[in-house]
Copies of this chain bind each other. A is one copy, B any other.
């Protein structure tokens, strides 16, 4: 699978190179290039910070210039927090990710450039990019750690893949209750509440029943959960296994 190339320009700390590699692999990115790094990509502190993404570091390539690092690629996106005094398109990571997907789907190879921790990319390096990417963040504190910036770009790249659903109810094969099962539970509960006197106020009774039903409706109950609830009502009302010691409380039960 083709994916964008991550280019770290003059990174200063081995830990950041390693954490960037880990963030890359989290997002399905595996091709790392470095321009004049202060520490080698296979530095022990880089390998330690990468945890299981050391393969990304070991296959990383080192270049002398940004121009050389992106020479075989088709598009360059430069990440930078500040707008420089150049006329250049500035887009968000989300918009960039959509462009990156389209390029890769088209068989083209894009790169994403990240500058040094302290200073960011220089103007002549940014000038090699087709577009600048600026991450919208708290304007009073928008300096991201290098690996964090890599993660945001990679995260958006991953989200831009074939759309996955945003919201899933994990049921582990549980079957939703039918409306008949739910109605059966309501009958059982309301009979018990009538009997114990909870619904004795005739005027309030209809509203109370509606409100009780609304709570359980909202929970989106599964079939087996209806059984649990039925068991709870039976347990609380009939106390078939209640402790035989009068007044005993949970925790003090010595036998059953």
Residues of A within 8 A of B (CB): 19, 22-23, 25-28, 51-53, 83-92, 94-95, 132, 135-138, 141-145, 147-148, 151-152, 155, 158-159, 164, 166-172, 174, 189-198, 200, 208, 211-212, 215-216, 218-222, 225, 228-229, 231-233, 235-243, 248-251, 253, 256
Cα(A164)–Cα(B87), bound, Å: 20
Cα(A52)–Cα(B140), bound, Å: 11
Distance in angstroms from A93 CB to nearest chain B CB is 9
Among B190, B191, B236, contact of A192 (Cβ-Cβ < 8 Å) = B236
A240 touches B197 (CB 8 A): yes
Q: Sorted from nearest, which 3 A-B pairs have the closest CB atoms? A: A197-B241, A194-B250, A198-B235
Among B26, B166, B168, B195, contact of A141 (Cβ-Cβ < 8 Å) = B26
Looking at A27, A211, A219, A225, the one whose CB has the most chain B CB atoms below 10 A away is A219
Q: Which residues of B contact A191 (CB under 8 A)?
A: 249-250
Main secondary structure of the interface of A (DSSP, over half): mixed
Q: Which residues of B contact A87 (CB under 8 A)?
A: 169-172, 174, 222, 225
Q: Which residues of B contact A256 (CB under 8 A)?
A: 197, 200
Distance in angstroms from A133 CB to nearest chain B CB is 10
18 contacts between A and B (CB under 8 A): A23-B145, A26-B142, A26-B143, A83-B172, A89-B167, A89-B170, A90-B169, A95-B166, A147-B148, A152-B155, A191-B250, A192-B236, A193-B235, A194-B251, A198-B232, A200-B256, A212-B232, A233-B236
A243 touches B147 (CB 8 A): no
Among B91, B189, B216, B225, contact of A211 (Cβ-Cβ < 8 Å) = B225
Distance in angstroms from A111 CB to nearest chain B CB is 19
Distance in angstroms from A4 CB to nearest chain B CB is 14
A167 touches B91 (CB 8 A): yes
Cα(A152)–Cα(B135), bound, Å: 12
Output the nearest chain B residue to A22 by Cβ-Cβ distance: B145
B136 touches A158 (CB 8 A): yes
Cα(A53)–Cα(B145), bound, Å: 12
A169 touches B89 (CB 8 A): yes
Cα(A232)–Cα(B132), bound, Å: 26
Given A26-B142, A89-B167, A237-B250: A242 in contact with B196 (beta carbons within 8 A): yes
A192 touches B148 (CB 8 A): no
B251 touches A170 (CB 8 A): no
Q: Which residues of B contact A174 (CB under 8 A)?
A: 87
